[in-house]
Amino acid sequence: MSETTKRTYPHGTAVEPLYTSGPQNNPGFRAQPWWTMVQEHLVEKEFAANDWALQRLGHGASGLLFYLTDEHYLPRILKDIQLEYINLGLVIEGSGPAVMEALLHHAHNEIIPASKLRGFINIDPVEIAARTGVWHEEKMYELGELTRLAPKGMKFMCANANFYGACGASAATQLGLAAAHLDFYLSTFGEVGLEQYWVALTAGTYMFEEIAKHRALRMLWKQLLREYDLPEVHLEIYSETSTTHQSGYDMHTNLLRATSAAFGAIAGGADAVQIRPYNSVATWADAEGERLALNQHFMLAYESGMDRVMDPAAGSYFIENKTAELVSEATDILNEVRALGGLVEALKKGWVQDRIDSEVSTAMPNEVLGVNLYPLDGEELPEGMKASKRASRAAHQERHKDKEIEPLRAVRWAAELETERESSK
């Protein structure tokens, strides 16, 4: 047990035990207590993806997220799926407008009004640049085409701030970069597509910070709309528990980590939440892991009552103060990025990479439950999974020295400790 009431989050911010007063925040919330329960699938063969989707819907998922290319035959993937009753996410490699047109043709053939389609198209030029090191200007034109094609229920102005979280960014930095991401699109497109913005976040295991983070994002969105003198519209928030917080040893502890993370996202007001399976660190697709992930949603809804409460954190002095603190810190980060010429320029200059690398160094844990804290004696890593040490920043930069942008690197907090445990055998 902790011997002090004074603690800090991994990135260094203080955790105060009690507040006696707090600001009157008004972040807004989703339209109803229910959230969309999302599961994802990497499409290889269309019929197999369709079988997977129908099974997941039969088990209670209300949102399907497909990773696909513009060469996949969409009607085969969506066969017998009643699109008007689910939330559909499409992460696309290739032409986003081509896939949107295919979706509209399929809906027309199935006699589904385009106005009934709900979900999102994911083509994010900024995230692609941050991940690959290459800026694709043509992707901006694709977003322009989607303003003409996408019905209102299909969000397409996407800020993939979850990638910054997957790379180890603190809550404040993830929010600040999310705001800079949104700022980049608002400055480029103005009011065009305004009702079709959405942001992806990662949800970490520090539950109260996650509640505040998700609430703070809505306040930052309102702040940006006021600055641009734009009407106030709802910002769709998709949140996911990622492999960043998973361990390969004692993997069932990942169920607990993901439940804490999902609770924070849901209580904070995420519209859609994906709970990644407890064993996704070792395998992409696994029926047992996916079923348990859905059951985590159901426990939070049916047996914990989270489907009946609107903004349960409202009025909590601790969370209201933490929300206001994160808004202030994120605004400072946004202003720094603006001074550098915007988010794309900040990536080109290495400012984002330097900040996140510094935060990762600060937050890297010395102990992870099941790995080197109360480990299970004799346990091995799952078959096919190898412990790997994170390459040095210098080696990473050398590998990508010919690129215009240094790609950001995903991090998994337990990886270093798993490597140490393996090497000590």
The mean per-residue pLDDT over the stretch 95-112 comes to: 96
Find all residues with CB under 8 Å of 392, minimum gap 6, and list them: none
Q: H or E segment at 210? A: helix 207-227
The mean per-residue pLDDT over the stretch 226-242 comes to: 96
CA distances from 167 to 21, 228, 356, 372, 413 (A): 34, 30, 7, 22, 10
Contact 214, 270 (CB under 8 A): yes
The mean per-residue pLDDT over the stretch 268-296 comes to: 94
Matching residue, tokens 């497109």: 189
Binning pLDDT at 50, 70 and 90, where does residue 21 land? low
Binning pLDDT at 50, 70 and 90, where does residue 1 land? very low
CB atoms near residue 1 (< 10 Å): 2
Q: What percent of the chain has a predicted confidence (pLDDT) above 70?
A: 96
Phi (first) and psi of residue 247, to 5 degrees: -120, 150
Q: Which domains does the chain have, with CATH numbers?
A: 32-327 (3.20.20.240)
Closest listed residue to residue 212, CA positions, set 109, 124, 82, 313 = 313
Closest listed residue to residue 235, CA positions, set 190, 188, 179 = 179
- For position 313, what pLDDT does the model report? 85
pLDDT in tens, 147-160: 999 999 999 999 99
Write out the DSSP string of 68-107: EETTS-HHHHTTT--GGGSEEEEEEES-HHHHHHHHHHHH
The mean per-residue pLDDT over the stretch 316-323 comes to: 90
Nearest 5°: CA angle at 86, between 63 and 139?
A: 65
Q: Enter the pTM of the model.
A: 0.93
Contact 257, 241 (CB under 8 A): yes
Q: Is the pLDDT reported for residue 308 higher than 60?
A: yes
Closest listed residue to residue 156, CA positions, set 144, 172, 164, 165 = 144
Binning pLDDT at 50, 70 and 90, where does residue 314 land? confident
| Beta-carbon-side half-sphere exposure of residue 79 (alpha carbons within 13 Å) | 10
Binning pLDDT at 50, 70 and 90, where does residue 419 land? very high
pLDDT in tens, 168-180: 999 999 999 999 9
The mean per-residue pLDDT over the stretch 194-201 comes to: 97
Encode burial over 100-137: b for 16+ CB neighbours within 10 A, e otherwise.
bebbbebbeeeebeeeebbbbbbbbbbbbbbbebebee
Q: Is the pLDDT reported for residue 413 higher than 80?
A: yes
| Beta-carbon-side half-sphere exposure of residue 284 (alpha carbons within 13 Å) | 7
Instruction: Report d(CA 174, CA 368) in Å as an integer.
Output: 23
The mean per-residue pLDDT over the stretch 73-91 comes to: 97
Closest listed residue to residue 159, CA positions, set 187, 184, 190, 195 = 184
